[in-house]
Structure 1
Amino acid sequence: MASRSLLSLPSLALLLLSLLLGACEKRAELEPPPRLTDDFTPPKPSSTISVPVRFDLDRLQADINRMAPAALWSIDERTTCIPPARVTICVKHERKCKGEECRNVPCKIGVERLRVSPPISCRIVGRVTRGPIRLSGKGSVIALAMPVHAEIQARDVGGVIKRETATGSALVRATVRLGIDGKWGPTAKVDLDYDWTDPPGIDFLGQRIRFARRADRELQKVIVGLERDLPRAFPRGALRRGIADAWRDAFTTIELNRERPPAWMRITPQGVGFEGYRIAGRTLEARIAARAITETFVGGRPENPFPTPLPAPLRERPQGGLNFHIPVMADYRELEPVLKRALDKLARKPITLETIGPVTVAFGGVSIHPTTGGRLAVGIEASADAVRGPLSATRGKVWLTGLPYNEPGSEVVRVRDLQIYGQTDRAVIDLLARLFLDKTVIATIEAGLVQDFGKDYQKVVTAARKAIAERREKGFLLKAEIQHAQHGRVHVTGSGLYMLTEVTGTATISRLP
């Protein structure tokens, strides 16, 4: 029996030591903060996207030449070719003077104009024809040039001349400003100018009979014809069809970033205005400005927006350019090993706590998740044992919450206002509570939670710039240029830390030939 009792003493001692140690080290467990599952919804800025509709200027020129008549007008009328000749007679004291002597004789009684030759009538017969119309231009103005040839006959002039033919040439120049009406139909405003390089006229009895004035009267009517015929030279309904097609194609989704994170921009036009026409080479381009909502999506590709019918043109041209957002996101799991390494380095030697003294600490696992109020929840497993003092060794998991922030213009995200989450007045967690209230520990945690978005920001902006520089989709081509990118404020989302990058630039959507 004695031998049995002696053999059981080590086991009993081990049991007592185990119970003693268990009584000395207390376990602290705090309830974790609630996990945020909602994702951040980026703003939906309004953008203006240029939608050019192109026409071949050579084809337009050919159509105008086909529609405009070769004979612009004809003349056949009886008129006075040469007005009557008259002289001025001065009457003084009933003595009439004339010619040279009238110059020095004051006309105190009156002046008379006497006809010395009758009017000479004639019949004017002729027509004016045009040469080929040429269209050119630069910028927003179409330049039109049209040579004009006049052939006019003066017949039966004063019963002396049976027929005399006069020819003349002029170059008609016009500046044409195109517009649109409320139904997307083309309009034209024509400013006409011309020079007679060879004014039509004949010589008769030492006088020149000029026909330019009569031709001028008819030439002015060309303006009305051009203002009517130029819009009609567009293929019927082509302008509206081209704008309607471009409007429909503008309802689309563009890939911004393939990964980290996958991101998309969805374009939903809201209205469309007319910017004007522009001529480049032999292409006439009607420029339309579509006002659109540009949304950013993270993850899977969203559905394309449903196209709506082409609305009436806006009264005012939409202002601004392309505006959208690119997400720069950091997974919370990327922060956990960084923080763990910082805490392990801190725990290599005892941490001195106020009123307690040195405490040996060992940190375990670290977990981070989003919680309410735009804050991060940071859970840290730790065991702490005071080198001396009344507090028992404590082991457990403490949760803290902090607010991520970044300074304006900075890509570095930090966490401030770290607080212990839950009850902190129980004796069982008193040592851990004091540990995680220590300024050195708090500073270490804050330093371990710093996230620099610089590399990710540059990568995402570069990827987006390439993705939208020139993108071909079914039937259309999107060209966009990022002119400025600026990162905004950081947000806590269910998927990760999200830095909102505001992007501005220009974009053009056009039909593929």
Structure 2
Amino acid sequence: MIAARIAPLFVIALGVSACNRDKGSVAPPRIDTAAELPSQSSTIVVPVSVSLSALEQQLDARTPTELWRIDKAEPRCVPGKQVKLFGKAVKVTPTLACRIVGHVRRGRIRLGGSGDTLTIAMPITAEISARDVGGIIKQETATGAAIVRATAKLSLDGNWSPVAKVDLAYDWTEPPGIDFLGQRIRFAEKADAKLKGVIAGLERDLPRELAKLRARDHLAQAWRQGFTAIQLNRERPPAWMRITPRRLGFGGYRIAGDRIELQLAAEALTETFVGNRPTDPVPTPLPPPAPQIGPRALRFFIPVLADYAQLEPVVQRALRKLAAKGIDLAGIGPVDAQFGKVTIYATENGYIAVGVQTKVKARSGVLPATSGEIWLSALPYNAENSQIVRARDVRIAGRSDSQAVNLLISLFDDVGVQANIRDALTHDFARDYNKVLIAARRAIAGHREGDFVLSADITDVRNGPIRVTGQGLFLPVQVAGTANIRFAPKR
């Protein structure tokens, strides 16, 4: 019986001796997973607008002021009159010939409109004379006036060249004509035939004048310079947003005030990179116009990172405060603990590893003093859309239920010690979060690439769950807003 009792005590002694020689627990495997963010699809407005008054001046200069001129003999200027006498037609007045001389001139062309309809207003005046009327009247002159109104629907063809469809409508406010020998001689139809050519002229000239504004050249240049990377944050961590345009949609022309604007939207891939600037994407040629892509929306991620060096001194201070208050272990009694260097890094399955160099001695002297490095693991987590990160499931690495008698193991198995470590691992990202947001807003508020400026406004910010990466605790922040690229040449 005595031998049977001695055997377990001998095994326990061997266990204590072995723990003292190991001087701690085994460090968990270190992982170096990089902080990666998913790419987003964004739609960036690319307004190309021109002055309506500039287009008006160009169109006015191109259009001749004299729209029509006539100088011709008219054998039936005044048809003869007939009456029936004894059942037969008897001419009572002769048919009179004359010479018609005249012209139609226009006034200044005015452009206006709203929405997708361009309006063109052009006053015209007519002065037409009937000369040498039958050798009886030397000359009769008639004047008339009208306002020619046209509506133009503007579009683009597959090569980004302007196209116009013009509809012309007008009424004579004063139709040109003269009264002679009880008859009204009208000249409006003679002018009308010539004014129909105005439609063809406007349909030809409007696209030409719009083409002079080099909208396609500006678009091609904006498209090329859109393949770029924008620095969102300089440090802690350095972050870049890379833009890769994919399609350019055309939503028609829009007229507002004195501007005529091409409604364009570029669909682009927006990617966020942590670290050094990524290589710029290779520009592709300007693609044909795509159907309208949809509402504009800029989407990208910005990273908020807490490196593990920030957490290590916090854990060390918390443990030293606990040691100063005194630690009482169940079954052992009061102990004196000294906590040294703390090491934290990423390990498997979303956990972090926490190593603490420690020396502990039981005041009762029941167990020998022990020193070494104990490794624990903990799972960081945060609530949805919260910047406060906490830790749970703090345990000695590789162990779920320790029955060891080693003082180091007993110390870190203690509920109070683990609670202090768990609390010390709590990290509020709010300060870094706000700092990174401010930097990102500044970066995209007016980023210039050559003659083009990207202007963006952040309207919504959300953060996802914390991620454990080789670089640190990584809080992905999803940003949404609106953006446009405008042509602003350097002076």
Q: Match for residue 309 of structure 2?
A: 333
Q: Match for residue 68 of structure 1?
A: 63
Could you report, residue by residue, the CA deviation over 1:53-74 in whole angstroms, capped at 9, with x for unpaired residues? 3445444333323432333345
Q: Of 462, 479, 498, which aligns to 2:438?
A: 462
Q: Match for residue 344 of structure 2?
A: 368
132-141 vs 407-416, which moves further: 132-141
Q: Match for residue 376 of structure 2?
A: 400
Whether the aligned pair in 2 keeps the contact of 1:26 and 1:395 (CA below 8 Å) is no
Q: Match for residue 3 of structure 2?
A: none
Whether the aligned pair in 2 keeps the contact of 1:350 and 1:360 (CA below 8 Å) is yes
Deviation at 1:172, TM superposition (A): 2.1
Structure 1 segment 379-418 matched on structure 2, within 5 A: 379-386=355-362, 393-418=369-394
Q: 1:180/1:119 Cα in 2 relative to 1: closer, same or farther (>3 Å)?
A: farther
Residue 277 (structure 1) aligned with residue 277 (structure 2): no
State the secondary structure of the residue aligned to 1:489: coil
Deviation at 1:428, TM superposition (A): 5.9
State the secondary structure of the residue aligned to 1:398: strand
Deviation at 1:138, TM superposition (A): 5.4
Give the distance between the partners of 1:401 and 1:85, measured in 2 at CA.
119
Whether the aligned pair in 2 keeps the contact of 1:424 and 1:430 (CA below 8 Å) is no
Q: Match for residue 38 of structure 1?
A: 33
Deviation at 1:461, TM superposition (A): 0.9
Could you report, residue by residue, the CA deviation over 1:233-280 in whole angstroms, capped at 9, with x for unpaired residues? 234592321211111111122121222222221111111112333456
Code of the aligned partner of 1:63? Q
Code of the aligned partner of 2:29? P
Deviation at 1:490, TM superposition (A): 1.8
Whether the aligned pair in 2 keeps the contact of 1:394 and 1:428 (CA below 8 Å) is no
State the secondary structure of the residue aligned to 2:373: strand
Q: Of 488, 496, 502, which aligns to 2:478?
A: 502
Code of the aligned partner of 2:389? V
472-481 vs 348-357, which moves further: 348-357
Q: What's the TM-score, normalizing by structure 2?
A: 0.82
Give the distance between the partners of 1:356 and 1:153, measured in 2 at CA.
127
Whether the aligned pair in 2 keeps the contact of 1:80 and 1:119 (CA below 8 Å) is no
Q: 1:122/1:410 Cα in 2 relative to 1: closer, same or farther (>3 Å)?
A: farther
Give the distance between the partners of 1:82 and 1:406, measured in 2 at CA.
99
Give the distance between the partners of 1:121 and 1:47, measured in 2 at CA.
76
Q: Match for residue 154 of structure 2?
A: 178
User: Which structure would you say has the larger Rg?
Assistant: 1
Q: Match for residue 313 of structure 1?
A: 289
Give the distance between the partners of 2:119 and 2:132, measured in 1 at CA.
42
Q: 1:206/1:441 Cα in 2 relative to 1: closer, same or farther (>3 Å)?
A: farther
Q: What's the TM-score, normalizing by structure 1?
A: 0.79
Q: Match for residue 11 of structure 2?
A: none
Deviation at 1:431, TM superposition (A): 4.2
Deviation at 1:78, TM superposition (A): 7.1
Q: 1:462/1:85 Cα in 2 relative to 1: closer, same or farther (>3 Å)?
A: farther
Give the distance between the partners of 2:384 and 2:102, measured in 1 at CA.
79
Q: Match for residue 421 of structure 1?
A: 397
Give the distance between the partners of 1:321 and 1:384, measured in 2 at CA.
59
State the secondary structure of the residue aligned to 2:290: coil
Q: Of 449, 452, 460, which aligns to 1:473?
A: 449
Q: Of 210, 230, 246, which aligns to 1:234?
A: 210
Whether the aligned pair in 1 keeps the contact of 2:251 and 2:292 (CA below 8 Å) is no
State the secondary structure of the residue aligned to 1:436: helix
195-204 vs 326-335, which moves further: 195-204
Q: Match for residue 28 of structure 1?
A: 23
Q: 1:351/1:172 Cα in 2 relative to 1: closer, same or farther (>3 Å)?
A: same
Q: Match for residue 109 of structure 1?
A: none
State the secondary structure of the residue aligned to 1:319: coil
Give the distance between the partners of 2:307 and 2:409, measured in 1 at CA.
28
Q: Match for residue 12 of structure 2?
A: none
Give the distance between the partners of 1:83 and 1:421, measured in 2 at CA.
120
Whether the aligned pair in 2 keeps the contact of 1:360 and 1:385 (CA below 8 Å) is yes
Q: 1:406/1:22 Cα in 2 relative to 1: closer, same or farther (>3 Å)?
A: closer
Identity across matched positions, percent = 51
Give the distance between the partners of 1:354 and 1:159, measured in 2 at CA.
137
Give the distance between the partners of 2:17 and 2:352, measured in 1 at CA.
33
Give the distance between the partners of 1:485 and 1:121, measured in 2 at CA.
86
Deviation at 1:393, TM superposition (A): 4.5
Give the distance between the partners of 1:376 and 1:262, measured in 2 at CA.
23
Unaligned runs of 5+ residues in structure 2 are 1-15, 84-88
State the secondary structure of the residue aligned to 2:465: strand
Give the distance between the partners of 2:142 and 2:368, measured in 1 at CA.
125
Structure 1 segment 42-57 matched on structure 2, within 5 A: 42-57=37-52
Code of the aligned partner of 1:314? A
Deviation at 1:491, TM superposition (A): 1.6
Give the distance between the partners of 2:432 and 2:79, measured in 1 at CA.
90
Deviation at 1:130, TM superposition (A): 1.7
Aligned length: 467
Residue 268 (structure 1) aligned with residue 235 (structure 2): no
Give the distance between the partners of 1:241 and 1:216, measured in 2 at CA.
39
Whether the aligned pair in 2 keeps the contact of 1:122 and 1:154 (CA below 8 Å) is no
Deviation at 1:504, TM superposition (A): 1.6
Deviation at 1:140, TM superposition (A): 4.8
Give the distance between the partners of 1:252 and 1:70, measured in 2 at CA.
49
Could you report, residue by residue, the CA deviation over 1:60-117 in whole angstroms, capped at 9, with x for unpaired residues? 333323432333345667779789999xxxxxxxxxxxxxxxxxxxxxxxxxxx9999
Whether the aligned pair in 2 keeps the contact of 1:30 and 1:423 (CA below 8 Å) is no
Unaligned runs of 5+ residues in structure 1 are 1-20, 87-113
Deviation at 1:314, TM superposition (A): 0.7
Whether the aligned pair in 1 keeps the contact of 2:19 and 2:406 (CA below 8 Å) is no
Q: 1:325/1:84 Cα in 2 relative to 1: closer, same or farther (>3 Å)?
A: farther
Deviation at 1:128, TM superposition (A): 2.3
State the secondary structure of the residue aligned to 2:440: helix
State the secondary structure of the residue aligned to 1:446: helix
437-446 vs 407-416, which moves further: 437-446
State the secondary structure of the residue aligned to 2:413: coil
Give the distance between the partners of 1:502 and 1:493, measured in 2 at CA.
18
Residue 254 (structure 1) aligned with residue 230 (structure 2): yes
